[in-house]
Every structure is written in C-alpha cells, then in structure tokens.
Amino acid sequence: MDGSKTPSECEAQKSSHELEHLEVYLNMICYISKTPINELIVEQPDVIEEADDDDGHASSFGHNMPSLSSASSKSSKSSNDTDVSAHQVLKNQKFVQKSASMLHTEGIVWQSIIKEHTSDVTRQSNTFGAVFLQVFPATNPSLSPLLDMLCQADLTLDFHALIYHIASMVALQHYIRLTVLRTGQFAPQKVINMQHSYYRTLLFGLLNTTLTSAQQDYVQKYTYLLA
C-alpha cells in the first residue's frame, strides 16, 4: 500500500474478499451480541435518499450505508433490527465508520490481547501471539490494523478462522459490556464468571493458534502504516 494515499482512496481499493471478511465480521458481532447493525456502525447521511429509493434494502460491505434509521423505524421491536444484515446495510457505503460503542469494545479486546501476550513469555515462536506483535506495536490503540492485515491476506492463506475467532471475542465482550453489566441489569455472578471464562478461552485459543510457514511469512512482511 502507498503511504501517501488518503484513507478514502485506500478504502476504495479494498478487494472483494476483504469486504466479504469485514461483512461477516460485523454480521457475527451483530447476531452473537444481539446488537442491531445500526448500533455497530454510523449511518452516512448522504445515502439516506438512495436507501429509501431501494425500498429500505441495504447493501454490501465496505461502503455506503442505507437508511438504517428508516429501516429500524419500520419495526417497533429492536430484536428485529438484527435481521438487517451487514451486507444489506453496507452495500452502497463509500466507507465504514464504526460507532463509538463498537470502537470501545474493540479497544477492550485489543488491550486484553496485549495484556495476555505480554504476560506469557513461554509461547511457541510459530503461534499467532508470538508473531503478530513483531509487526504491531503494543502501543497501538486499535484492533483495526490487525483486522485489516488479516482481511487483506490472500484467501489461500486461510486466515478465516482467526478473523471469525476475533469476531466472536468482540461479540462476547460487546454483549457482556452492554447487556450483562448494564446498569440496572441483574445477572448471577456465576453467569458473569462463566462468560468471562469463555472469553479467556477464546483469547488463549487466538494467541496460541499455530501459523503455517506461509502465514508467518505474510505477517512478518506486512507493512503496518501509522494512521
């Protein structure tokens, strides 16, 4: 990638498989966390009319979000909003802007990855946890560059499992943060403990995933561009 290119230019050059990965990533978070897609990403006002002309059918990933507000207003049940897929919502988007809530959850997941990585000095050298920080500094505040790296990889490298593994972690953390630990919401301590235990299992599995030689080579040669 050319470091001189603007974010919008980089977004426009996303490959079809990168967009598909990102679309599935958002869909998984939406359904697992029971969060409407319009609470995960920010609606772009310049596509409202276009969405209305399309009878509320949203679109495919990477860019132009149809009128989520109008789509959700057609149903009084928030649970129905999760039936609106990321593909529908993102089909015409020129860029994707994650909501503050979504970014906050991703930030929590990223910090947990860093904390777990630095606390385990015995991890095997060919695991994901041992390789990816050779590229991404621990001071990086966002999960996004890591997701970009995995989504941009050639399909033959088969990073699908890692991408969807991270999606499961974000979805579970989002659900815990907004539903289980919500002010005024009662949840038995044993349920909370079980959910946190499952999250740590996902985290352990991610960092200890063994990478093939080709996968290791890709990660080590990936060029991380500071925003």
Number of domains the chain contains = 2
Domain of residue 153: give its range.
99-227
Longest dimension (CA), the chain: 57
From CA 213, how far away is CA 159, in angstroms rounded?
Answer: 13
Task: Tell me which amino acid residue 226 is.
Answer: L
Distances (CA, A) of 67 to 20, 49, 51, 58: 21, 8, 5, 8
Domain check: are 136 and 93 in the same one? no
45 C-beta neighbours (distance < 10 Å), count: 10
pTM for the model: 0.73
78, 58, 75, 77: which is closest to 66 by C-alpha? 58
Instruction: Give the per-residue pLDDT at 176.
Output: 86
**pLDDT tens track, the chain, 227 positions:** 444 343 333 444 466 777 788 888 988 999 888 888 888 888 666 544 444 444 443 333 333 333 333 333 333 334 445 555 666 666 666 567 888 999 999 999 999 998 887 776 677 888 998 898 888 887 888 898 899 899 989 889 999 999 999 999 999 999 988 887 765 666 677 777 888 889 999 999 999 999 999 999 999 888 776 54
Domain check: are 73 and 105 in the same one? no
Domain boundary (97, 128, 152) is at 97
Domain check: are 155 and 204 in the same one? yes
Report if residue 163 sits inside a domain.
Answer: yes
Domain boundary (67, 97, 127) is at 97
Domain check: are 216 and 125 in the same one? yes
Instruction: Give the per-residue pLDDT at 202.
Output: 93
7, 9, 13: which is closest to 152 by C-alpha? 13
The label of the residue with tokens 């030689």 reads 213
Report if residue 181 sits inside a domain.
Answer: yes
